[in-house]
Structure 1
Amino acid sequence: MTEHLSACPSIHRIGVVGCGLMGLGIIELCARAGLDVVGTVRSPSAVEQRRARLEDSLANAAHRGKITEDEVLACLERVHFTTDLLDLADRQFVIESITENRAVKTELFTELDKIVEDPEAVLASTTSSLSIMGMGRTTNRPTHVLGVHFFSPAQTVPLVELIPSLHTDASVVDRAADFLTGPLGKEVIRSTDRTGFVVNTLLVPYLLSAVRMVESGFATPEVIDQGMRRGCGHPIGPLKLVDLIGMDVIASVANALYEEFKEPLYAPPPLLRRMVEGGLLGKKSGRGFYTYT
């Protein structure tokens, strides 16, 4: 992807806060685009752990012929993991990818505003449901705060939702769009700053309906998923998709949608809430609607 680098020469130093599944995917995506990336983690032990996961993912890409062994080494040289947010001071585009919690995210944006030195730097959130306006207002640069909602795995799924708030400057939105479509090679759709944006506003009620069908005993997960795959041509069934995304993430987005719109179709079913309470989060916990080893 390095051939795209000249399309947006002004942005080449990237920061990623939070190196879970989504954050690591974004780091890999940026490194493969030839960009200099700093990823922040919570603890020293997580530094080596995240680097090992990145190495595994890049090795897998090389095994599938997506990149060469030399490119794997080059990507790893472009990435630095740290526990210190101060290491983001010189970044030009900082992407927040932490837990979907309004208070935690807004606190982080307040910190980033003080740390990132370049007044033209873009501060972006990967939130799937929370207010961009709310995060921007905790900074002294709301004109440079926006949402960039990647889809997992970020290094392979082509789409990104770009969400400005009412305060975001139009030139900043255009610069972010050029960066996403240029160096990162993504397809971009723009959404207004409302809970769920475009994709989740349509997707989440569909997923919740599938959960309700299981909850009522109307059909099993296997039958529901088979019906949507074989009957409607979906690449993955709704309940397998819930497991892949994570029960906690779906419940969080559903709660945010219901809080904003107060429509019953957005309310998380009791079964979903109980599974989250019991730690049955899907693939990442080993058990959801299906069991994983």
Structure 2
Amino acid sequence: MWKFLISLALILALSSSIEVRLECKTDIRLNEEIYCWLTNVLSSEHQVTVTESSFNVTNHLQHQQPINIIFIGNENYPEYFPKNLTQYLTGVSGFMYDDTSLKYIQRNDFTALASNNPLILHLRSNEIEVIPYDTFYDLINLLYLDMSSNRIKSLPSNLLINSVGLHSLSISGNDLTELHHNLFINCPQFYDLTAEFNQIQDIHVDLFRNNPNMTSISMMDNKIRNINVDFRKLKFLKFADFRNNFESCDVIFSTLTPDDKDFDEVDQRKAMTNIPKFQRKIEKVCKA
């Protein structure tokens, strides 16, 4: 009986697949950005297959670099990533697929985005819950990843194992309860983490052990009760925000000025002087 129901479900899923066109145009004010949308998407229940491109992105890339692909989504966009979509978007430097009903992603969705161009990837304000461990395996060129404002509950420890050039990760506004201590182990150039508004409870001593260039860590509004990181080893740190966490674990460290976020040698010297003080405060109020 169960086998019959599963087979029936697969048949219905296949029968609900629709073919759409990929429409793109260049903004006349920002020639490096191309805005795209999927036509004929009438229901989020359908699995969308892109069959042709009405804009020759490949030819455009030959004459102008970099190019950002920004998708204009709507509530009818499907829960699954549109099949064949990125095969028309190879070589781009920025891919932004935000504000849709996207719930499921997998490795094949992003393979075509691998190139020699540093890649900025936005999957922001969707409904993603689970990130398979090999999702970004082919994106060695991944520079900046934004998965904020989804429903992600956990990140596999080896999710970024091939992201050797990653600089920045934004995962704010999810349902994360922890960050595995090996998450950034193969990201030696990583320097910027934004993980605000989650449910993270502890920060492991080894979380940044292979990331000596960390400059910014923002983890306010979590459930943090224990921070074991030795910040004195992060000699380039300029900003660390742990406000609005459990009990007294409510500290902030900054060399930023309100109107200037570009650091100079003066900021560096200030950080070198103040990090030991920040470490003492962490040890005093943020150790379980």
Please give the TM-score of this superposition, normalised by the length of structure 2: 0.27
Greater RCO (Cα-Cα under 8 Å, separation 6 or more) = 1
More strand by share: 2
Q: Which has the higher helix share?
A: 1
